[in-house]
Structure 1
Amino acid sequence: MTSVGVVTPFWLDRPPGEALDIAVAADETGFGALWIGEMATFDAFALATAAGLRTSRIPLRIGPLAAGVRSPVALALGLSTVAETTGRSCSLALGASSPRIVTQWHGQPWEPVRRMRQTVRDTRAILNGERVAGFRLRHPLAGTPISVAAFGPAMTRVAVQEGDEVVLNLVSAAHVADVRRRAGELPLAVWVPAALDPGPDTLRQLRSQLAVYLAPPGYGEMFTALGHGSLVDQARAGRPRAELAADIPTGLVEAVGAIGSADDVARRVGEYFAAGADHVGLVPATAEDPAGRRLLGTLAPLLPTRHR
């Protein structure tokens, strides 16, 4: 069964509190999940608690959070806090993140594959009520799904072996199809930037996000395969992000997003499902559509949005 959820984005050109407005809009329009990640604004568990208290029914999917930053005990305590204080269905997603975030921001070693594998195993055991390293969670959340964000083959293998779902972000439908072949029957979720009839400010917002992903391994190769290798080379050579963003063509935004009329966006979501996705998380652009209300309200009747 396919479903569509909503991702709380952290646009640098928008007020931080808009994340809560997006949560309310997603809940009111009946979307099947609210994804709450983490960057440089809020602690994800704190934001999820606030979102749960502001909404009435939407399930909360916390993450992907960097597996190398919090211990399994901290992850289990955070998830338990959200579940107990909001009374809401919660799940957890973990990702490798990046060396900058893990080592520079948080002072932890960069061992993505080993750390992911052990973190998923230990966190799952704690959530199921087992004692790990002398710790036992007072209120277990047995059976809580743990998703793994993956891009390259190594992390995809970890996701298949240890996770309950593979999560992809900012990818083409062709990349989804490739991961679908490698993931077998494991559920597959993909985050897709979305905008209804985008104007210049919205396209600028989306291009700025894309510019961040031009250089990293895996993403750069995907964008090169899409015909934009020159931009990737420039990003890896150190060209400023603002300059790169200005040169990103609309076609590249369309290749990894869902933009245009309501029918265009719905059709694009359908292409991700056809490529093998089980769940699409819409990342609403909000530069010209505060909290994505127009996007979400228009699309809800056209998509499989209801809770599973």
Structure 2
Amino acid sequence: MSIGVVTPFWLDRPPLEALDIAVAADEAGFRTLWIGEMATFDAFALATAAGLRTSTISLKIGPLAAGVRSPVALALGLSTVATTTGRRPDLALGASSPRIVSDWHGRPWAPVQHMRETIRDTRALLRGERVSGFRLQQPLPDTSISVAAFGPAMTAVAAEAADELVLNLVSTDHVAQLQVSPPLAVWIPAALDPGPDTLRQLRSQLSVYLSPPGYGEMFTALGHGALVAEARSGKPRSELTIPLDLVEAVAAIGSARDITSRVDAYLAAGAAHVGLVPATAEDPAGRTLLTTLSAKGYR
């Protein structure tokens, strides 16, 4: 069982804070840094920058949309990070959403098919095999591949082909109900003694996830189907009212004891890894949160 740190992309914070969080996590002694991708940085470029500014923390890149990059592009990205930072990165893949895959990138939305093919061919490339005429000059055979999944179809793919199953914004009950073969990692927002600005930040980010497939169904199962329906009907995010109990159901907020108790609850429910997403509205780079938890042995 382990605790890691996720570089968040809060909508109300400067993008370069992601690097400050990487440094804070490294200095606090955390062993794993997850580096995802939204609307600011290319994940491999950010991972390279983070690796050059940190000393020992391991880099796990993603989840990245499997339908956007080819296996060759993924292998080249991983090789670039490994070569420039001297650290072997791991990879996480996910379905993402139709908006990102089809609207932003112009790729067809076929998440299950893309995931199977991408894992198969990327693993082959990382082993040094030739795929579609391409061979990686510096293979990375020990790179693990995690899969972010919600629905049964993608969970089945993860069970078949992934080294780890990743879930974002889930409740402890959801974790406890899962029967999966690969180890389970969960991402949860975390905030130490949150004030109004932090709660506003958490609510704003949570509103982004009400509509996408998988997330909406999980929030509905938590009793917030009406809110999900509003979001999917096109109601502006600024007009959605996110109740505090929904935030608390998928996050770790409060005192240090509250946060460690929540982390323990996820581990007890079956998670092998908990990735903390630091809220930074009132705690720049999450430094106070990360140093406090590290001092308590949660790292």
Equivalent residue, structure 2, for 1:228: 224
Post-superposition shift, 1:178?
2.2
Matching of residues 175-254 of structure 1 within 5 Å: 175-179=174-178, 181=179, 183-184=180-181, 186-244=182-240, 247-254=241-248
Matching of residues 260-279 of structure 1 within 5 Å: 260-279=254-273
Give the root-mean-square deviation of aligned CA atoms.
0.9
Q: Distance in 1 between matches of 2:196 and 2:117?
A: 45
Equivalent residue, structure 1, for 2:287: 293
Contact 1:48 1:82 in 2 (8 A): yes
Once the two structures are superposed, what CA deviation does each residue of 1:210-265 show, in whole Å capped at 9, x if it has no partner?
A: 11112233222222222222212221222210111xx2111110100000000000
Contact 1:196 1:262 in 2 (8 A): yes
Equivalent residue, structure 1, for 2:152: 153
Once the two structures are superposed, what CA deviation does each residue of 1:272-291 show, in whole Å capped at 9, x if it has no partner?
A: 10111000000000000000
Equivalent residue, structure 2, for 1:283: 277
Equivalent residue, structure 2, for 1:92: 91
Moved over 3 A (4+): none
TM-score by length of 2: 0.98
Unaligned runs of 5+ in 1: none
Q: Distance in 1 between matches of 2:138 and 2:196?
A: 49
Contact 1:266 1:303 in 2 (8 A): no
Contact 1:193 1:284 in 2 (8 A): yes
- The residue type paired with residue 251 of structure 2 is G
* Secondary structure of the corresponding residue to residue 15 of structure 1: coil
Equivalent residue, structure 1, for 2:140: 141
TM-score by length of 1: 0.95
Post-superposition shift, 1:175?
1.1
Contact 2:203 2:247 in 1 (8 A): yes
Q: Distance in 2 between matches of 1:284 and 1:212?
A: 17
* Secondary structure of the corresponding residue to residue 5 of structure 2: strand
Contact 2:31 2:56 in 1 (8 A): no
* Secondary structure of the corresponding residue to residue 248 of structure 1: coil
Q: Distance in 2 between matches of 1:46 and 1:213?
A: 25
Percent identity over the alignment is 76
Q: Distance in 2 between matches of 1:152 and 1:260?
A: 30
- The residue type paired with residue 133 of structure 1 is S
